[in-house]
Structure 1
Amino acid sequence: MMDIDDVQVMPIEGSILMRMLRYVKPHTKILIVAFFVLILATGANVLGPILIKVFIDNYLVLHRFPYVPLLLLGATYLGLNIATALFNFTQLLLFQKVALLIISQLRIDVFNKVQQLGLSYFDRTPSGMLVSRITNDTESIKDMYVSVMSTFVQNIVLLIGIYISMFFLNRQLALFCVVLAPIIVAIMALYRHFSSRIFHLARHRLSLLNAKLSESLQGMYVVQAMSQENRLRAEFEKINHAYRSARIRNIKFNSLLLRPLIDSLYLLALILVLGFFGLHSFVARVNLGVLYAFISYLDQFFEPVNQMMFRLNSFQQAMVSSHRVFHLLDEDELAPVKEGDQLPSITEGEICFEDVSFSYDGKTDVLKHISFSAKPGQTIALVGHTGSGKSSTANLLMRFYPVVRGRITVDGVDLRQFSDEELRKKIGLVLQDPFVFVGDITSNIRLGNTDITDEKVRQAAQFVQADTFIEKLANKYEEPLGERGATLSSGQRQLLAFARTMARDPKILVLDEATASVDTETEEAIQDALLRMRQGRTTIAIAHRLSTIQDADLILVLHNGEVVERGTHQELLVHQGLYHKMYLLQQGGRAVPENYMGA
């Protein structure tokens, strides 16, 4: 398990913020309208204290109460408040609409990026941590656009309006309030500096929490079968406690540096303003309306400051999340893609491995100098103990990993020159543990390929004899399937995978322990289907049960990543090497007759 505190604190560069702002560009027109409405709302808002100042100085203090002017003044004040509410509603709606459009696009970009990553990236990255980046981190960025940016824009515009009104009332005091701006900016910078590690740590621990949750859910059968509930509960509790501790540290930090500090600054400013007017009253007359308006503006000045300070919490989380998301978007460990400008096609299915070596980590070779050829229509079987390199050989043929040392060709053309579409269409893969998507039987066989009609779906199912169990289902081919096909048996899921592969009529078949999850009765029922599947197709069959590959044209015996034996079933038995020992083990240790010619 990853260290709970093993987190690298990355500096939040201005480039991250600029990159986030690039997502705003497609919505410039809406934002211009929103900004214009925001200016109107701000203007209506800051004019309120000016009207009250006029009422106090021109009417209240002088004890003058003319009906018509006061009625107009009151109606104007009421109209400004109504206009402020309407303008604020409109600009808030527009800003948040843009924010949701932006985050929707960002989520799509992240999801598309994940689809393009190479399997080597997933080998070393827990799926739960990826889920955390796609969900929790993008949700935090959504808050950045929905609440933080809109709040900052609104309040900055409001502060500018307040400054203009202050200068209109009293230049000296307005200049004093200008001095407050750099102090507030310094406080914000101080907050961001000290809170950065706390947010990084909290996000890291939340990722670990999601990873542990994902692992527990995916392995629930093993968890319950092996009585691992207490152990996993303890591990989950440890990570959850660490995440809670990080969040508490964040709350303590916010409680100290946000509201109390700004409130103290506000009280200091209020004392200075009142002191200024108090001293001024000894030498000249003080307009009460101006005093009221200034105190009102001072209060309005610090309210948006407080809002921005509170939003700094969300801002800091969003910047940390943005760094994590953009780090994922910038990941260059992509799945291998086509090289060159040619567009070759797979027509025959001839496969050739030429001195291929491979390592997952760049240090330890799992394949060493693998060479073999498979003629069109031949079946090549790969056998060997766990970790011998069988699945790695198939992974390279499927181009899940790049071939760096050696060369693989199909029909004499380097594997790297084929397009992904050509490879996935012409090479069919059936895994030991087939994946079933949420949907129904038909959608799981078709997998979104519109070229596969309902008739082809039924023909493929009949070809592999999957129609035997499908016809018994309540809704037949429209039978709904849950996550991972939990309502089907392992054998039924395997048959569904066979039908899915055959519906595409591939030239090459890769069977990775394709019958390992099938019971003996079902295995016997699909052997004929496998024989028909292999007719006219080059087949690479990874097998644990040696009985399923005795008729292979060539059997390669792998050990520690090397081909140590090769030949037909009969030739390898006569050789009495590793294959012979494996066969004896599966036969219960019985000796093989000298004149044995195969089952």
Structure 2
Amino acid sequence: MSERYTMETVSHKNAFRRLLGYMKPHKKALAGAFTMLIIATAADVLGPILAKVFIDSFLMPRRFDPLPLTILIVSFILIYVVSAFMHYFQLISFQKIALKIIQQLRVDVFGKVQHLGLTFFDQTPGGSLVSRITNDTEAIKDLYVSVLSTFVQSITLLIGIFIGMFSLDVKLTLICLVIFPIIFILMQVYRHFSSKVYMMTRQKLSQLNAKLNESLQGMNMIQAMRQEMRLKKEFGAINGQHFGAMMKSIRLNSLMLRPAVYTLYLLVLIITLSFFGIQSFGTIIEVGVLYAFVNYLDQFFEPINSMMMQLSRFQQALVSAERVFGLLDDHRMAPVKAGEETPSINEGMVEFENVSFSYDGKTDILKNISFTAKPGETVALVGHTGSGKSSIINLLMRFYPINRGKITIDGAPLQSFYDDELRRKVGLVLQDSFLFVGDIKSNIRLSCDHISDEEVVEAAEFVQADTFIEKLPGKYDEPIGERGATLSSGQRQLLSFARTMALNPKILVLDEATASVDTETEEAIQEALKKMRKGRTTIAIAHRLSTIQDADQILVLHKGEIVERGTHQELLGLKGLYHKMYMLQKGDDLNKNLRCLATRSGESS
């Protein structure tokens, strides 16, 4: 669905126009490269004319005057030396411009992705997105590096060749012009059929990337559940479809590119030789003119053949450009500041007023949510899976736009805050903490240069992460691989806490922040949380009810609605949903403790 949405927004014509728009900043460099190309083309065109002069003025009459002949030979050599140098430098210039353009395009695409809203990522497979940023931009690079430069060079050469042909024989040149409509029709037919083939090829390649990404992300589950064969069959099926699309492309290219052009070349060559043959019955034919004309025909069809061969890349680039510009035009952006007010978060009071929310615009995930978290208070959100706890956090973090209702911080609407103010003053810790490739220090500081090394250490000590950091060989300079795979889940979570504390936020948002840690680590974190909450508003999603018993207010959610609210003791007294959840967890904890005791007694015996 997402693939169709983005691709349908940009036409072939619009995509090509926008690709040309990327060339505007390089006007001067393009003018220099084009000038060198014209000089090189002029040299190429003059070559056969000089050869014609040599044949008709020196070779055929057997007149070899030393001085004119020497001038002709030197001129011939100089022309081809100039042609070689100009071709070299214009090619370098065009390639350099092309690489700069594609470099800018990739930065634009990556920058766009960074500002897309979570709605977009919810609806777009990660592998498909990677395919657009890598494979599709690579195909567009071919357009600038190979296709456009080939077309410019070929068209310039064709114009030069026609000028040379007209200088030799106007009548025959006009006859040869008949092939242009045939070539144009051939190109249009090829473009019509190839566009469909390449669209299918790109879609299947995108699906291959999506399946590959899914497999790599879930490899532990695939192996644990013995799903290797199923994933292999699914990947093989998509790969087979991609193979079929590629074979259609190969058949089309094999039929309509070089064979078709070569057939046209033979047709024109027959016409040319027949023309000179018929003319020879009545007049004397200059061998030099015949040689030059046939030479021009060879040169004439070479650029046509080059353009036809590049049409496949041109078509692939346009298809890829549609997908890339579809991504650049996607309106599902992350919510940003609205209005002229510039409020600041000083106290940290959070209010939800009759907030309702739907991800798909049809089914409400949240229904009339209202509560107030006063400065320094801890508000806990509890409920079964799918009750709407994470959706409340997502709206408070402004990951999604509010459908209905109002959220305020310190009395100011959530949408009135600048992103920088909101992200610095509202600290988020997720259940699955994310670490970047780098080291311990850079993961705590991130890109906040104002956080000193001393503050990094203080933040780590505050959450008791220094206990394990000091044991690492590199301590705070210890390298961290992708997603922090070399650290335990508890260690990753402690670093996530330290990262949040380094910002010294006014509001803490904890999304089951202790769910991934062991009991001993959780106890240490709970001690740190007590210090973190002082002077800060804390909104916490809790899976273990034992961790939020001291919360100032507990909201119990069920099917997107707040069905109970109060303190731990007040909710237990209601004998409702919270009481039932608490008793079930208490029974589970008791059973776990009994199993642990049984295991230990068995080991001691």
Question: Is the structural similarity TM-score above 0.5?
Answer: yes
The whole-number CA distance in structure 2 between the counterparts of 1:414 and 1:11 is: 36
Q: CA offsets per residue over residues 75-126 of structure 1, 9 Å max, x none? A: 2212212211110010000001000000000000001111111100100101
Q: 1:496 maps to what in 2?
A: 495
Q: 1:522 maps to what in 2?
A: 521
- Post-superposition shift, 1:66? 2.7
Moved over 6 A (4+): 2-11
Map 1:542-553 → 2, pairs under 5 A: 542-553=541-552
- Post-superposition shift, 1:210? 0.6
The whole-number CA distance in structure 1 between the counterparts of 2:220 and 2:107 is: 32
Which secondary structure does the structure 2 equivalent of 1:588 belong to? helix
Q: 2:316 maps to what in 1?
A: 317
Which secondary structure does the structure 2 equivalent of 1:172 belong to? helix
Q: 2:141 maps to what in 1?
A: 142
* Stretch deviating more after TM superposition (12-21 or 362-371): 12-21
Q: CA offsets per residue over residues 549-590 of structure 1, 9 Å max, x none? A: 111001101111111111111111111111111111111179
Map 1:54-453 → 2, pairs under 5 A: 54-453=53-452
- Post-superposition shift, 1:240? 1.1
**Alpha carbons 2:10, 2:326 under 8 Å: kept:** no
For 2:518, give the aligned amino acid.
Answer: D
The whole-number CA distance in structure 2 between the counterparts of 1:133 and 1:482 is: 25
**Alpha carbons 1:466, 1:499 under 8 Å: kept:** yes
Give percent identity, aligned residues only: 64
Q: CA offsets per residue over residues 307-359 of structure 1, 9 Å max, x none? A: 00000000000000001100110111111111111100000000110000000
The whole-number CA distance in structure 1 between the counterparts of 2:5 and 2:416 is: 41
Q: 1:594 maps to what in 2?
A: none
Which secondary structure does the structure 2 equivalent of 1:382 belong to? strand
**Alpha carbons 1:434, 1:494 under 8 Å: kept:** yes
**Alpha carbons 1:379, 1:552 under 8 Å: kept:** yes
The verdict on how the C-alpha distance between 1:53 and 1:528 changes in structure 2, with shifts beyond 3 A counting, is same
The whole-number CA distance in structure 2 between the counterparts of 1:7 and 1:110 is: 14
- Post-superposition shift, 1:15? 2.2
The whole-number CA distance in structure 1 between the counterparts of 2:101 and 2:422 is: 35
The verdict on how the C-alpha distance between 1:589 and 1:428 changes in structure 2, with shifts beyond 3 A counting, is closer
- Post-superposition shift, 1:12? 4.0
Q: 1:597 maps to what in 2?
A: none
Q: 1:505 maps to what in 2?
A: 504
Q: CA offsets per residue over residues 390-437 of structure 1, 9 Å max, x none? A: 000000000000012000011111111111111001000000001000
**Alpha carbons 1:4, 1:205 under 8 Å: kept:** no
The whole-number CA distance in structure 2 between the counterparts of 1:241 and 1:71 is: 64
The whole-number CA distance in structure 2 between the counterparts of 1:6 and 1:209 is: 19
Which secondary structure does the structure 1 equivalent of 2:405 belong to? strand
**Alpha carbons 2:10, 2:325 under 8 Å: kept:** no
**Alpha carbons 2:480, 2:486 under 8 Å: kept:** yes
The whole-number CA distance in structure 2 between the counterparts of 1:71 and 1:495 is: 85
Q: 1:463 maps to what in 2?
A: 462
Q: How many residues align?
A: 590
The whole-number CA distance in structure 1 between the counterparts of 2:240 and 2:24 is: 41
The whole-number CA distance in structure 2 between the counterparts of 1:580 and 1:495 is: 31
Structure 2 unmatched runs, 5+: 591-605
Which secondary structure does the structure 2 equivalent of 1:283 belong to? coil
Q: CA offsets per residue over residues 132-175 of structure 1, 9 Å max, x none? A: 11100000000000000000000100000000000000001111
**Alpha carbons 1:370, 1:563 under 8 Å: kept:** yes
The verdict on how the C-alpha distance between 1:400 and 1:6 changes in structure 2, with shifts beyond 3 A counting, is closer
The whole-number CA distance in structure 2 between the counterparts of 1:143 and 1:389 is: 47
The whole-number CA distance in structure 1 between the counterparts of 2:589 and 2:235 is: 49
- Post-superposition shift, 1:381? 0.3
**Alpha carbons 2:358, 2:403 under 8 Å: kept:** no
Q: CA offsets per residue over residues 166-223 of structure 1, 9 Å max, x none? A: 0000001111222222221221111111111111110011111111111111111111
Which secondary structure does the structure 2 equivalent of 1:365 belong to? coil
Q: TM-score, normalised by structure 2?
A: 0.96
The whole-number CA distance in structure 2 between the counterparts of 1:106 and 1:406 is: 39
The whole-number CA distance in structure 1 between the counterparts of 2:589 and 2:361 is: 42
- Post-superposition shift, 1:225? 1.6
Which secondary structure does the structure 1 equivalent of 2:157 belong to? helix
* Stretch deviating more after TM superposition (398-407 or 581-590): 581-590
**Alpha carbons 2:2, 2:124 under 8 Å: kept:** no
The whole-number CA distance in structure 2 between the counterparts of 1:535 and 1:217 is: 42
For 1:152, give the aligned amino acid.
Answer: F
**Alpha carbons 2:204, 2:241 under 8 Å: kept:** yes
Q: 1:48 maps to what in 2?
A: 47
Q: CA offsets per residue over residues 270-308 of structure 1, 9 Å max, x none? A: 000000000000011101100010011011000000000
**Alpha carbons 1:432, 1:514 under 8 Å: kept:** yes
The whole-number CA distance in structure 2 between the counterparts of 1:7 and 1:100 is: 25
Q: 2:601 maps to what in 1?
A: none
For 1:416, give the aligned amino acid.
Answer: Q
- Post-superposition shift, 1:7? 11
The whole-number CA distance in structure 2 between the counterparts of 1:278 and 1:343 is: 86
The whole-number CA distance in structure 2 between the counterparts of 1:119 and 1:132 is: 19
The verdict on how the C-alpha distance between 1:586 and 1:452 changes in structure 2, with shifts beyond 3 A counting, is same
The whole-number CA distance in structure 1 between the counterparts of 2:477 and 2:175 is: 74
For 1:233, give the aligned amino acid.
Answer: K
Task: Name the Cα RMSD after superposition.
Answer: 1.6
Q: 1:28 maps to what in 2?
A: 27
Which secondary structure does the structure 1 equivalent of 2:535 belong to? coil
Which secondary structure does the structure 1 equivalent of 2:331 belong to? coil
Q: 2:479 maps to what in 1?
A: 480
The verdict on how the C-alpha distance between 1:7 and 1:231 changes in structure 2, with shifts beyond 3 A counting, is farther
The whole-number CA distance in structure 1 between the counterparts of 2:215 and 2:425 is: 36
**Alpha carbons 2:6, 2:327 under 8 Å: kept:** no
The whole-number CA distance in structure 2 between the counterparts of 1:6 and 1:450 is: 40
The whole-number CA distance in structure 1 between the counterparts of 2:50 and 2:560 is: 86
For 1:50, give the aligned amino acid.
Answer: I
The verdict on how the C-alpha distance between 1:14 and 1:51 changes in structure 2, with shifts beyond 3 A counting, is same
Structure 1 unmatched runs, 5+: 592-599
For 1:489, give the aligned amino acid.
Answer: S
- Post-superposition shift, 1:440? 0.4
- Post-superposition shift, 1:68? 3.0
Q: 1:585 maps to what in 2?
A: 584
**Alpha carbons 2:12, 2:318 under 8 Å: kept:** no
Q: CA offsets per residue over residues 364-399 of structure 1, 9 Å max, x none? A: 111011000010000000001111000000000000
**Alpha carbons 1:439, 1:482 under 8 Å: kept:** yes
* Stretch deviating more after TM superposition (85-94 or 65-74): 65-74
The whole-number CA distance in structure 1 between the counterparts of 2:558 and 2:393 is: 15
The whole-number CA distance in structure 2 between the counterparts of 1:123 and 1:518 is: 27
**Alpha carbons 1:7, 1:204 under 8 Å: kept:** no
Which secondary structure does the structure 1 equivalent of 2:510 belong to? strand
**Alpha carbons 1:349, 1:508 under 8 Å: kept:** yes
- Post-superposition shift, 1:61? 1.1
Which secondary structure does the structure 2 equivalent of 1:436 belong to? coil
For 1:380, give the aligned amino acid.
Answer: V
Which secondary structure does the structure 2 equivalent of 1:372 belong to? strand
